Amino acid sequence: MQTHLRGRDLITLQEWTKEEIETALDVALDLKRSRALGQPHAILRDKVLAMLFFFSSTRTRASFEAGMAQLGGHAQFIESRTTQIAHGDTAKEIGEILGRYNDGIAIRHVDWGAGNKYIREVAQASRVPVLNMQCDIYHPFQALADLLTIIEKKGDPRGKTITVSWAYAASYQKPISVPQSLILLMPRFGMNVRLVHPPGFQLMPEIVAQAKDNARRAKVGFEIMDDFAAGIRGTDVVYAKSWGALLTVKSDEEGAQLSSKYKDWIADERRMAMAGEDAIYMHPLPADRNIEVTDAVIDGPQSVVYDEAENRLHGQKAVMALTMS
Confidence of residue 245 (pLDDT cuts 50, 70, 90): very high
| Whether 321 contacts 198, CB under 8 Å | no
Whether residue 114 has pLDDT greater than 80: yes
Q: What is the per-residue pLDDT for 310?
A: 98
Judge contact between 324 and 49, C-beta under 8 A.
yes
- The model's pTM is 0.97
pLDDT at 88 over 90: no
Domain ranges of the chain: 13-139+312-324, 142-308
**pLDDT tens, residue by residue, 182-218:** 999 999 999 999 999 999 999 999 999 999 999 999 9
Predicted pLDDT of residue 137:
98
pLDDT at 171 over 80: no
pLDDT at position 61 over 90: yes
Same fold across 13-139+312-324 and 142-308: yes
Element (H, E) at 54: none
Q: How far are the Cα atoms of 20, 32, 83, 98, 128 from residue 80, in angstroms, in the given order? A: 32, 32, 6, 13, 20
What's the rounded Cα separation, in Å, for the pair 54 and 107? 8
Q: At what angle do helices 205-218 and 177-185 cross, to 10 degrees?
A: 20
pLDDT tens sequence across 210-220: 999 999 999 99
How many residues in total does the chain contain? 325
Q: Which of 237, 109, 261 is nearest to 170 (CA)?
A: 261
Mean pLDDT, the chain, rounded, equals 96
On the question of pLDDT at 56 being above 90, the answer is: no
Report the pLDDT value the prediction gives residue 218, as an integer from 0 to 100.
98
Assigned CATH topology for domain 142-308: Rossmann fold (3.40.50)
Residue 225 neighbours by CB under 8 Å, 6+ apart:
194, 195, 196, 231
Residue 25: is its pLDDT beyond 90? yes
Q: What is the pLDDT, as a whole number, of residue 172?
A: 74
Per-residue pLDDT band for 290 (boundaries 50, 70, 90) equals very high
Q: How confident is the model at residue 43 (pLDDT cuts 50, 70, 90)?
A: very high
Give me the helices (H) in 130-227, please: 140-154, 177-185, 205-218
pLDDT at 101: 98
Whole-angstrom distance, CA of residue 199 vs CA of residue 78:
38
Q: How large is the average pLDDT for residues 288-298?
A: 97
Share of residues in the chain with pLDDT > 90 (%):
93
Q: How confident is the model at residue 162 (pLDDT cuts 50, 70, 90)?
A: very high
- Say if domain 13-139+312-324 classifies as CATH 3.40.50.1370: yes
pLDDT at 293: 98
